[in-house]
Structure 1
Amino acid sequence: MKKSVLHQAATRGSADHGWLKSFHTFSFAGYYNPERVHFGALRVLNDDTVDGGRGFGNHPHDNMEIVSIPLEGELQHKDSMGNVAVIKAGEIQVMSAGTGIYHAEYNKNPNEPVKFLQIWIFPNKRDVTPRYDQIKLDIDNKRNVLNQVLSPDKDDEGVWIHQDAWFHMGRFDEGKQATYNLKKEGNGIYFFVLKGALKVDGQDLETRDGYGIWDISEVSIEATSDAELLIMEVPMEVRL
């Protein structure tokens, strides 16, 4: 039987550090909710806004798949693997932290904020060799369809991670519909509305609402206004 969980935007944890404003769908840093620790392999979904010229200093990670999706502005990245890059809206970045990395992230623009999603996924392999990847997406030219932006397959569309997970993004005009079919039995799907309003499996969702569903094989989607959506399919059983 289908199971689901609704996380409305206003119920998320939050932190205001002046230069950083962050909303936490799941427990993170000073926000802890025992009913919102993770959704299957999806551990962190942070909605961050960083003031111009500010950012996160050098800090460590290990044994986590880390995905960054800029929504507005440009994010400067530097890590212990020697990567120096700028990621901007319309791109996606992934790091396999594995045996351990250090990295820093800063708003490249001194005058405008950068807004991005910081997503952590539990890996299916521990202590892998750290790696980095970044690609440009083509969602603007593919409206009203679900565009794959992440998978477990190096040769598939989008970036890849060490987990049986698939991410899709889509921009939909009001009234347009789609169906999402799960890639792997036992996985669940977490829907996160970036803009606008949608109806997902009969559930009305608005901007920054999150909705998780599992024990289901397909899900219907209808845009009730012009809308943008991120879909994260992840295993529901994880060995932590």
Structure 2
Amino acid sequence: MIEVFPAESRYQKDLGWLKVKLSFSFGDYFDPNNTAFGVMRVCNDDEVAAGLGFGPHPHSDMEIVTVVLAGAVRHEDNLGNIKVTSVGEVQRMTAGSGIIHAEYNDSATEKLHALQLWFMPNELGLKPSFEISGYDLADLHNALLPILDPIGSEHTVKIHQDMTLYLSRLDKGKELSFQQAEGRRIFIFTIEGSLTVNESKLDEGDTARIESQSHLSIRAEEAAFLMLIDLP
């Protein structure tokens, strides 16, 4: 089954300094029929004005992943981490037994555009931690590049869950194949451009939640930038 969620179906909020589009229930937006997809709890598409951001606030028992699409985000936490994540990097924060952190647009002049993703960990009460990993943007070209997985490597950040997050930039007309293992779920987000996934069309901003499809054919109907997440 491939269930497509059009871009306009996302809940949107404009606070002036923050423009956010939500794919799942979050904060004061609650839809009892849209709280999760497997272990995935949040997919927020955030635009943050220059020099502004989210002040110190707590989290626990969640894997929080940030993929920077434009600009840079500065992370600060009570573990003593003060780190900046830019385009070509991904960050993972394990909230675990409890952490207090803040996130700000690191630029005084440019907008920050990022995806923030939350996933349930494979174990509660983990030791809080924070990690950044970089990847080569050229490696996204007409390929699915893993940037996050449960093992971690020089070019992937480690997450405490049985899942892998891929990014890809496809030229118009290019096609990728992906095999979905039995019992797994796939989440696809068309960040830019237009895709056909099997027989389903996804335009810019659309997402798809996919189950019980052994084979996926992903074709760029126009030049496209996409995120694919393989999760339980």
TM-score between the two structures when normalised by the length of structure 1 = 0.93
**Residues 1:110 and 2:108 are matched in the alignment:** yes
Q: Go from structure 1 to structure 2 and tell me whether the alpha carbon gap of 1:4 and 1:142 turns closer, same or farther (over 3 Å shift).
A: closer
What does residue 6 of structure 1 align with?
A: 4
- 1:71: how far off? 0.5
CA contact (8 A) 1:66 1:94 kept: yes
CA RMSD of aligned residues (A): 1.3
Count the aligned residue pairs: 232
Distance (whole Å) between structure 2 residues aligned to residue 157 and residue 37 of structure 1: 31
TM-score between the two structures when normalised by the length of structure 2 = 0.96
Return the match for 1:216 from 209, 213, 217.
Answer: 213
Return the match for 1:42 from 25, 31, 40.
Answer: 40
User: 1:157-186 deviations in whole A, cap 9, x for unaligned?
Assistant: 51111111111110000000011123x531
CA contact (8 A) 1:139 1:170 kept: no
User: 1:50-75 deviations in whole A, cap 9, x for unaligned?
Assistant: 00111000001100000001111111
Distance (whole Å) between structure 2 residues aligned to residue 63 and residue 158 of structure 1: 21
User: 1:174-214 deviations in whole A, cap 9, x for unaligned?
Assistant: 000011123x5311000000100010121110111000111
CA contact (8 A) 1:75 1:86 kept: yes
What does residue 29 of structure 1 align with?
A: 27
What does residue 238 of structure 1 align with?
A: none
User: 1:118-160 deviations in whole A, cap 9, x for unaligned?
Assistant: 1000111000111111011113244101001111113485111
Return the match for 2:199 from 197, 202, 216.
Answer: 202
Tell me which moved more, 167-176 or 137-146. Answer: 137-146
AA matched with 1:164: D
- 1:6: how far off? 1.4
Gap runs ≥5 in structure 2? none
CA contact (8 A) 1:177 1:223 kept: yes
CA contact (8 A) 2:140 2:167 kept: no
What does residue 56 of structure 1 align with?
A: 54
Return the match for 2:174 from 173, 176, 182.
Answer: 176
Instruction: Show the 5 A alignment for 1:89-128.
Output: 89-128=87-126
What does residue 68 of structure 2 align with?
A: 70
